[in-house]
Chain A
Amino acid sequence: MGTASGIIKALNSGIKHIAIKRFTLRYPEEKLKFVGDGYQFDPVSGVGVAGLKGRHILFHDKCTGCQLCSIACEGIAEAISMVKVNEKWKQNKKSIMPQIDYGKCVFCGLCVDACPFYALYMTNDYELSSFSKEGLIYTPAQLQVKPNIEQDAEIKIDDRGATHG
């Protein structure tokens, strides 16, 4: 009898779930909303600010070309290399800025921790696919662009289950 009641209980539980809301995120149409503008780091207090570790954003007016991000990346992914830029900045005598190869980057964010001048942050942009390997290498000019993305899907919980609405 225990077997029969167990089978009926299982069937009942299964059939009940037909009425529960779908949890699937319909990705290309809906995009998850993230905390803040991305992962940032405050070198004065030594603590990061929570956010998604997506593609980087580079502030040209603050970068001094000190190579600390590149050195931090050396033991991890070797994704950052310093390249010459045409711009002239007062604080950047050598005119070198990081160029990031997203084919190698592991998005750990330790380069952001290494930057002492608030020049390198991460953003919420994570759609970086490209048709060629060269397309994954982001030059300083590309890194400067602030991504413009709409992300609004959040987990909503009610009596009939959780859903991304």
Chain B
Amino acid sequence: MSIIAPRFRLGYFIKSLLDNVFWIIILLTLIGIPAIQVVLFFIDLPVIEGELLTPFLALTWLADPSRTLPIIKALMQTDFFKIAVFPGFGFAALLAAGTIFIERKLLAKLQLRVGPFYCGKLEGILQLMGDGLKLISKEIIIPAKADKPIFWAAPLLFVGAAAAFISLIPVSPGWVIADLDVGLLAFFAIIGFFPIITVLASWSANSKFPFIGGIRALHQMVSFEIPLILSLLGIVILTGTLNLSEIVESQSNFPWIIFMPIGAIVFFIAMLAELERIPFDLPEAESEIVAGWLTEFSGMMYGLVQLGSYLKLYAFAAIFVVLFLGGWNGPMIMPQFPQEIITEGIELGPISVTIPGLPLFTPEMINGTFWFTIKTIGVIFFILIPRGVFPRIRIDLLLHIGWYKLIGLAFVNIFISLSLLYSGVLGPGGMM
């Protein structure tokens, strides 16, 4: 038995969890409560239900769930919560982190190896956290002749642009940050940012390999934007709207992939190319151009780019789900809550406090999120699998696919949707 990696034992695991809980409680009571008191003492608190929220009152509310719940519900309707937590960054980052972990384990299984194993005791579940800590603690090296402000800005811009995607995605009915009438156009607009950011990053590094990688990325992204946009036009023609929520609602009976499989395939391939994933990872081809436009990035700058690219992966998968797979639509599997929970509340054990309005989310919202997440994970799986199966393609073959084959197929898709529209099968007057 070696000291390096002791065998996993459930008892040790539970003990370590209990240890953590113990220290969290101790630290919170010793530091947290005085800190909250100090904060509440100095801050002007709002007026809620006609009475001023004094620190004393706030603390009593913290202890009284029936009075805390309205505050939480009010908070959940704010834009800040939406952007930071649920349909926004927190949810997306969680899915992206899960994607990285699943990618590593899945690829390892496909390649007959183990993958992350020791970190986190349970199948290496904390490996990602370890990698993140490593990236944060590493030194950031900037090339001497780089254009420093732009070089610094590029990773941040990349994450920002990737995060901007997330604001457009309707996760479940009503849960979308920016419910734009031109949602699809905004999506195209954000895609247009990435080539610019890539070229800025590669040019400002003032090095040969990033330059070649940046030029390749520019070629690839610009030429695959056209089939990407064209493949979505069929849906716009049939639904008559650019609003993503309305597109999802239009698929309540059947997803568009049934009528437009060609459009879905074109979009999927173009999506792989936009995401720079194998087999289209030419801008980062390590055997030709070191690491492409990422060559000079180090430390957390590289980490930010990776975070951005996985957010982008989630966003593209979500857009695919929204446009082709029916978004949140799915059979209702959540049982309806009993009516008395909502009106009268539930008894909370020995304290016997009645809390009305406990379910913070409606069953429709939970159901929609469930189906959306399941579908998104399925699409992500199909984005990940090619990495284990295909080699990298060459730039001229890539451009050939983009300009000759995919654009033609996208036009075929548009004609199919037009014929569906004018023959009256779908669209206004048809099945819709």
B357 CB contacts on chain A under 8 angstroms: none
Interface residues of B in 375-399 (CB under 8 A from A): 385-386, 388-390
Interface size on A, as a range, is 10 to 19
Q: A10-B389, A14-B389, A15-B385 are in contact. Are A22 and B5 (CB under 8 A)?
A: no
A14–B385 CB distance below 8 A: yes
Among B62-70, B104-112, B187-195, the stretch that binds chain A is B104-112
Question: Does A107 reach chain B (CB closer than 8 Å)?
Answer: no
Q: CA A28 – CA B2 in complex, angstroms?
A: 6
Residue of A nearest to B114 (CB): A24
User: Which of B2, B112, B114 lies in contact with A17, CB distance below 8 A?
Assistant: B112
Q: Which of A10, A14, A15 has the most CB of B within 10 A?
A: A14
User: Which of B1, B2, B113, B390 lies in contact with A23, CB distance below 8 A?
Assistant: B113
Question: Does A47 reach chain B (CB closer than 8 Å)?
Answer: no
B110–A18 CB distance below 8 A: yes
Q: Distance (Å) between the CB of A82 and the closest chain B CB?
A: 36
Number of interface residues of B (CB under 8 A): 18
Q: B185-226 toward A: CB 8 Å interface, digit per residue (1/0)? A: 000000000000000000000000000000000000000000
Question: Does B145 reach chain A (CB closer than 8 Å)?
Answer: no
Question: Does A134 reach chain B (CB closer than 8 Å)?
Answer: no
Q: A23-35 toward B: CB 8 Å interface, digit per residue (1/0)? A: 1101011000000
Q: CA A23 – CA B106 in complex, angstroms?
A: 15
Q: Distance (Å) between the CB of A136 and the closest chain B CB?
A: 21
A28–B113 CB distance below 8 A: no
B110 CB contacts on chain A under 8 angstroms: 14-15, 17-18
B390 CB contacts on chain A under 8 angstroms: 7, 10
Question: Does A147 reach chain B (CB closer than 8 Å)?
Answer: no
B114–A11 CB distance below 8 A: no
Q: Distance (Å) between the CB of A146 and the closest chain B CB?
A: 21
Residue of A nearest to B388 (CB): A14
Question: Does A20 reach chain B (CB closer than 8 Å)?
Answer: yes
Residue of B nearest to A16 (CB): B110
A26 CB contacts on chain B under 8 angstroms: 114, 117
Q: CA A161 – CA B112 in complex, angstroms?
A: 10
Interface residues of A in 12-69 (CB under 8 A from B): 13-15, 17-18, 20-24, 26, 28-29
Question: Does B431 reach chain A (CB closer than 8 Å)?
Answer: no
Q: CA A71 – CA B196 in complex, angstroms?
A: 69
Residue of B nearest to A13 (CB): B389
Q: B110-133 toward A: CB 8 Å interface, digit per residue (1/0)? A: 111110010000000000000000
Q: Distance (Å) between the CB of A56 and the closest chain B CB?
A: 24
B4 CB contacts on chain A under 8 angstroms: 28
Q: Which of B106, B111, B385, B389 has the most CB of A within 10 A?
A: B389
Residue of A nearest to B3 (CB): A28
Question: Does B7 reach chain A (CB closer than 8 Å)?
Answer: yes
Q: A28-B4, A29-B2 are in contact. Are A11 and B389 (CB under 8 A)?
A: yes
Residues of B within 8 A of A (CB): 1-2, 4-5, 7, 106, 109-114, 117, 385-386, 388-390
Beyond A11-B386, A18-B110, 6 additional contacts (C-beta under 8 Å) are: A14-B110, A17-B111, A22-B114, A26-B117, A29-B2, A29-B7
Residues of A within 8 A of B (CB): 7, 10-11, 13-15, 17-18, 20-24, 26, 28-29, 161
6 contacts between A and B (CB under 8 A): A11-B385, A11-B389, A15-B385, A22-B113, A28-B4, A29-B2
